[in-house]
Structure 1
Amino acid sequence: MSPERGHVFLARRAYFQRRLMDAARLLPVLGAGMFVLPLLWKSGEGARTVVVMFYIFLSWSALIGLGWIVSRRLSGPETADPAGAKGDADEQVGVSREG
């Protein structure tokens, strides 16, 4: 049996920031999937060029908007780690920082 460990605690702000970083990493994959999707459309002789170009433009605009939102949330002051945040988290868990 393993020795009993303390409670695992991850501050809400740090958890949210990590999920945003995951979302930022997945945006290129989402974009590739969105840009390849028109190749799968089959309607008689194929999808019309105007519809495909409109879809690609909207997808491109959506990716820019999502990237902007994620980058603003990651670089905003609410995600900045204040000097005492580590100590505050340790105190909430009950970990002693003393020798």
Structure 2
Amino acid sequence: MKEPGEPLFLADEGYRRRRATDAVRLLPFLGLLLWLVFPLLRDPATTPENETAGAVLYVFGVWIGLIICAASLSRPLREPPDDVDDQSAPETQP
């Protein structure tokens, strides 16, 4: 049972940190999906010439987009969480 005065939900900072970690873990799958979708978007019947330049721009555009997403999602993960105490670290034996 919930004690009086305890928050009903998780702390906002911890929740956001876990969601950012989840989003970073999903980025490789998003990139793979975007790279695999590109051949489906092309219609070879309407464009008989080779579109290598467009394909290269698409691949590197997705790659740069993933880098930007990873950089923006990693920003909240750079700082250690507030709820970690120093006593949880293992002690070293002299």
Calculate the TM-score normalised by the size of structure 2. 0.70
Letter in 2 for 1:39: P
Unpaired segments of 5 or more residues in structure 1? 85-99
| Counterpart in the other structure of 2:88 | none
Question: How much does 1:75 deviate?
Answer: 1.1
Quickly say closer, same or farther: Cα 1:83–1:18, change in 2 above 3 A. closer
Provide the residue aligned with 1:75 in structure 2.
78
Q: Cα offset for 1:48?
A: 1.1
Match of 1:53 in 2: 56
Provide runs of 4+ in structure 1 moved above 4 Å.
none
Deviates more, 1:35-44 or 1:8-17: 35-44
The offset of 1:43, in angstroms, is 4.0
More helix by share: 1
Taking every aligned residue pair, what percent have the same amino acid on both sides? 32
Count, aligned residues: 78
Q: Which position in structure 2 is the counterpart of 1:94?
A: none
Structure 1 residue 47: deviation in Å?
Answer: 6.5
User: Within 2, Cα distance between the matches of 1:74 and 1:57?
Assistant: 26
C-alpha distance in structure 2 between counterparts of 1:11 and 1:46, whole Å: 56
Cα pair distance change 1:47/1:75, threshold 3 Å: farther
- Tell me, which stretches of 5 or more residues in structure 2 are unaligned? 86-94
Other-structure match for 1:93: none
- How far off its partner does 1:70 sit? 1.3
1-structure distance, mates of 2:49, 2:8: 54
TM-fit CA distance, 1:81: 1.5
TM score, norm. by length of structure 1: 0.67
